[in-house]
Amino acid sequence: MTGTDPWHEALETYLAHLTVERGLSVNTVAAYRRDLDRYAAYLAATGRTDPSEVTERDVEDFVLALRTGSDGRAVLSAASSARAVVAVRGWHRFWLLEGVTGADTAGAVRPPAQPRRLPKAISVDDVGRLIDAAGLGDGPVPLRDRALLELVYSTGARISEGVGLDVDDLDRTPGRGSVRLLGKGGKERVVPVGAYALDAVDAYLVRGRPALAAGGRTGGPALFLNTRGARLSRQSAWAALRLAAERAGLPGAQHISPHTLRHSFATHLLAGGADVRVVQELLGHASVTTTQIYTLVTRDTLREVYAAAHPRAL
């Protein structure tokens, strides 16, 4: 924007306000300048010469231009567009407070919706490969790592919940296995444990944990111990999973985290027909809306099944 532009003085006044009265950093003000320079140029191109002439529709059309490039400039991501909308709304609010305009025409304009980031899940086969890889080798550590991953996937536990387990938190009764998990905010829930996980935990308790407990320090009642006999840490559990993912040769092994098993637990249950409210209880979510993001993941599965099964789908 040039000095002859009718919006130049208005923009410089606002940027001075941000610098002097709001005390924003040089970098932040520079970001505001970039976004508002584009907005001012857009308003000038539409024939607007004064803030009082700007309508809510003008602001909405500018937001659309950010996402489509219809103003001849670069298309911005949802996150960058949201930043620009914040800048625009701040400028309009400033005009209202300074008495330049009689209304805040940008107040009701919302940033473009951020795309929902779907939880990352791996396939059932890849879960099996991951757990098998964790159990490779001799000694107590592979027994521990396999038991830990089996249990986390079987229950959907957070890794902090898994390493925080005590031996007495497990009910290993065949056919009625369950575990007591302590979630966020100290909220307790009891979750069923599958046969594969129970078998892996039994093997670890018989042949693995006693050897680890003899390593020196006592882990007390802790279920999962490190090689020094103390409670296994979250960091060590993460490292064990990462090593197993690399051994298994899973795609994107470097991005697989303990939470991947929790995501996979929820996704596989819903794909298998589980009710979303049941999955909510199993995960320990306070609200079902948190759980419902997993239903978006399973829609891909529904489309694949539909395309393969319906006689006139393709």
**Residue 184 is a catalytic residue:** yes
* Active-site residue, selected from the candidate residues 89, 262, 263, 268: 262
Give the model confidence (pLDDT) of 175-205 as tens digits. Answer: 889 999 988 778 899 999 999 999 999 999 9
Instruction: Quote the tokens at residue 57.
Output: 């529709």
Active site residue 262: yes
Catalytic site includes residue 259: yes
CATH number for region 8-97:
1.10.150
* pLDDT of 300: 64
Q: How confident is the model at residue 46, as a pLDDT?
A: 92
CB 130 within 8 A of CB 244: yes
Burial degree of 19 (CB within 10 A; 0-12, 13-18, 19+): middle
- What ranges do the domains of the chain cover? 8-97, 124-256
- Which residues, including other chains, have CB under 8 Å from residue 300's CB and lie 6 or more apart? none
124-256 fold: hpI Integrase; Chain A (1.10.443)
What is the structure's pLDDT at 2? Answer: 43
Question: 60 near 89, Cβ under 8 Å?
Answer: no
Q: Is 294 a catalytic residue?
A: yes
56 within 8 A of 108, measured Cβ to Cβ: yes
One of 176, 184, 228, 303 is an active-site residue; which one? 184
Pick out the chain residues at pLDDT < 70: 1-5, 113-119, 216-219, 296-302, 304-305, 313-314
Q: What is the SS3 assignment for 166?
A: strand
For residue 94, the model assigns a pLDDT of 96
> Which pLDDT score is estimated for 271?
84
Beta-carbon count within 10 A of 28 CB: 14
Count Cα atoms within 13 angstroms, Cβ side, for 187: 12
Identify the pLDDT of residue 216: 65
Which is catalytic among the residues 33, 83, 158, 268?
158
Q: Which listed residue (89, 92, 209, 285) is catalytic?
A: 285
* Phi-psi sector, 207: left (phi>0), alpha (psi -120 to 50), beta: alpha
